[in-house]
A and B are shown apart, each in its own frame.
Chain A
Amino acid sequence: MALLDVIDLVVEFPTRRGTLRALDGISFSIEPGEILGVVGESGAGKSLTGSAIIGLLEPPGRVASGQIQFEGSRIDRLSPAQMRPIRGRQIGAIFQDPLTTLDPLMSVGRQLVETMQTHLKLSDRDARARAVQWLEEVGIPAAAERVEAYPHQFSGGMRQRVVIALALCAEPKLVIADEPTTALDVSIQSQIISLLKRLTESHGTSVMLVTHDMGVIAETCDRVAVMYAGRIAEIGPVADVVRTPSHPYTEGLMGSIPSLEARVERLRQIDGAMPRLGAIPQGCAFNPRCGRTIARCFTHRPDLMPAGATQAACWLVGGGAA
C-alpha cells in the first residue's frame, strides 16, 4: 500500500469573477521511503499540492473534489483538531525561506522541544537531550551550546538545517519539502539537499520534494512529477523522465538545462508563458506553446496515459495521432 495517495484532487479558489481551478485532477502516490520530485513553472500548482496534503490551504482555497489518503485513510476532510496530530507527527513540512519560518523570539532548542513534546511523550530532560541530538544530526556545530541560541544567531543555511530538524523531530513518515533550497546561496543548496536525502533515508521517511531545479531532481529523487497549469503533465521514474521525456513540455524543460559536456551556443527555451488560471485554453493546456500539436490537442484534454516507463498527458503518446 502506498503511504500517500492523491486521487483526482481538485483545488479551487472562489473569486468575485468566478471560481478558479488551481489544481485540476491531480493523481499520484508516494511509496514508503520514496522521494518524489515535483517540478514545474511558478504557478503550476506544486506548492499548492503540498499545502493541500498538509491541510494548510490558504482560504478561500479549498479541496473541491478528489481524495487525499494517508496510509489508506482519507485526510482531506478532517477537522483542524483531527488534522493537528497528523501534522508534524505523520507529515512534516519544510518551507522555502528559513529566514522567516522560525519564530524569531524563541530559542531553537525550545522550538524543537515544543514540537517534540506536542507529539511524543517526552520529559523535559529527554526532549532537551533529543533537541541537542537533532541539532547535531543536521550538522549544527557545537549543538549543545547553540541549543539556546535564537534563529537570528544562525546563518541562512544553518537556519534551514534547524528547519529540517524541526520538520523531522517528531519522526513523520512523509516530509513535504517546498523548495527547501530556493532561498539559499547556491554553494549551500547541495549541502542542504544531501542532508535532507541522508536524513530521510536513515529514518525511512518519504519525501515530496517541490523544486524548480531539475538538477536536484535528477540527483535526489526516485520518481518525478512534472506539473503544468494545475495538472500533471508527466510522471515516472527520474531516469526515464530525464533521458526519454514523453511530453513535449518535459522535453522543453530538459532542453533548458545547461550541460557541462555538450557545448551549445544558446539554451533552448519554451516559447510563451504558462496560461493564467482563468484563461486555460480548450484541449491541452500546453497547446499554445507546443510545437507538435495535432487537431485533437485543441479539442480534447489528454489524461495521463502510459508512455513507455512513464505516464504522460499527451495525445502523441496515447495513440491520439491515430
Chain B
Amino acid sequence: MFAFILARLLQSVPVLLAVAFISYGMFAFVGDPVTAMLGQDFTAAERQAMIHQLGLDQPFYLQYLHFLWNVLHGDFGLSYRLARPVGELIAERLPATMELAVSAAVLSLLIGVPLGVFTGINRNSALARGLMTLSLIGVSLPTFLIGILLILVFAVLLGWLPSFGRGDVVHFSHWSTGLLTSSGRRALILPAITLGMFQMTLILRLVRSEMLEVMRSDHIKFARARGLSEHAIHFHHALSNTLIPVITIVGLQLGMLIAFSIVTETVFQWPGMGLLLVQSIGVADIPVMSTYLLLIAVVFVVINLVVDLLYFAVDPRLRSQGGR
C-alpha cells in the first residue's frame, strides 16, 4: 500500500511540472501586466525599470526556471496587482473556498445519494418521476443563473439570507472559518446551494442509474430469495455496489468544486480563491494565476489518490490484486 502511494506521488511529479510550464507559459504571453500596474501616466524609462524589476526582460525559459526554483522554495512570487506575496494571498483565500466547496460537496452528497437511492428503488412513483424532472433543471441550469435566482428570492424578495460576502469569520492562526458565527453560517447557505446544485443532481442521477443496474443483478435476486429485509438489500447489498462509480465521480466533482467555484464566488462576492483569480485575470497578474493553476493541479492529484485509496477500501477484489 505504501509502495502504491509512493508510486502515485512520483507519477504526479511530471504532471505538476507540465501544469506549471503550461500555466506559466500561457500567462506569460497574454496581457500586459506592466501597463496595468503603471496606470495612466508613465514614461518609457519608468516602464523599462518596471519590466526589469519584474524580470520580464529575461528570456522566457529563464523566467520559468526562476519561477519553478522559487516555487520549490515555497516562494510563489509577488502579486503584480497587490504587491504582496502570492502564497500569502492564496493562504488567506483558501479557507473561504475550501469551506464553500466542502459545504457544497457535503450538501450534494447528503441530498443526492438518498434521493438517488429513493428514485432508483421507487422509479415508477410519482415523487421519483417529479424528482427526476427537477433534477434535469439542476443539471441544465447554469450556475450563475441559479445563484442570481436564489439571491432574488431569498435575499431580495424574502430578505432571509445575505446576498453577498462571508459574514463574520473566526480566525485560528492560518485558518479562518465562518461556520462558528451565525452570520457566517447564514452567508454560506446560498453560495453552497448554488455551487452544489449541479453536483447534487449529477450524483442523484448517477446513484439512481447505478441502483437500477445493481437491483437487476443476480446477487440482489439471491438476497431477496434469502428473505433479507428491504433495508439490508438496498443499503448493504445494492448501495455498496454502486459506490465505485459514485466515488469516482464525486472525487472528480470535488476537484471541480474547488477549481471552478469562480462563478459562484463572483456572483456572491465570496472572498475566496476564485474571486482572487477573476480579479487577477483582469490585470494579467501572472504569479497569482500560475500559482492558482498549480494549486488546482495539486488538488486534483491529491483527490485522485484519495479516490484510488477509497477503491481499495470499498472493493475487496482490488485489495487482493495489488495494494499490498
Contact = CB atoms under 8 A, between A and B. Distances in A.
Given A100-B217, A100-B219, A101-B219, A92 B225 contact: yes
A109 to B, nearest CB: 13
A107 B316 CA distance: 9
A163 B232 CA distance: 18
Contact of B219 (A85, A86, A104, A152): A104
Nearest to B241: A105
B66 interface: no
B292 to A, nearest CB: 39
Contacts of B314: 105
Contacts of A106: 236-237, 240
Contacts of B222: 93, 95, 101-102, 163, 166
Contacts of B224: 56, 87
A167 B227 CA distance: 10
A86 B227 contact: yes
A87 B227 contact: yes
A170 interface: yes
Nearest to B226: A88
B18 interface: no
Interface in B209-235: 217-219, 221-230, 232
Contact residues of B: prevailing secondary structure: helix
Contacts of A103: 219, 223, 237, 240-241
Interface string B292-322: 0000000000000000000000111100100
Contacts, number: 83
A170 B226 CA distance: 9
A56 B223 CA distance: 11
Contact of B227 (A85, A95, A104, A153): A85
A54 B317 contact: no
Interface stretch (A13-21, A111-119, A239-247): A111-119
Contacts of A101: 218-219, 221-222
B123 to A, nearest CB: 11
Contacts of A28: none
B317 A150 contact: yes
Contact of A152 (B227, B232, B237, B317): B317
Most B CB within 10 A of own CB, among A103, A119, A170: A103
Given A118-B232, A150-B316, A152-B316, A104 B225 contact: no
Nearest to A50: B225
A87 B315 contact: no
B227 A170 contact: yes
Contacts of B315: 104-105
A103 B226 CA distance: 13
B99 to A, nearest CB: 33
Contacts of A212: none
A95 to B, nearest CB: 6
Interface of A: 54, 56, 80, 84-89, 92-93, 95, 97, 100-107, 114-115, 118-119, 150, 152-153, 163, 166-167, 170
8 contacts: A56-B225, A114-B228, A114-B236, A115-B228, A118-B228, A118-B229, A152-B320, A167-B225
Given A54-B225, A163-B222, 9 more contacts: A95-B222, A100-B218, A100-B219, A101-B222, A104-B316, A105-B240, A114-B228, A152-B316, A167-B225
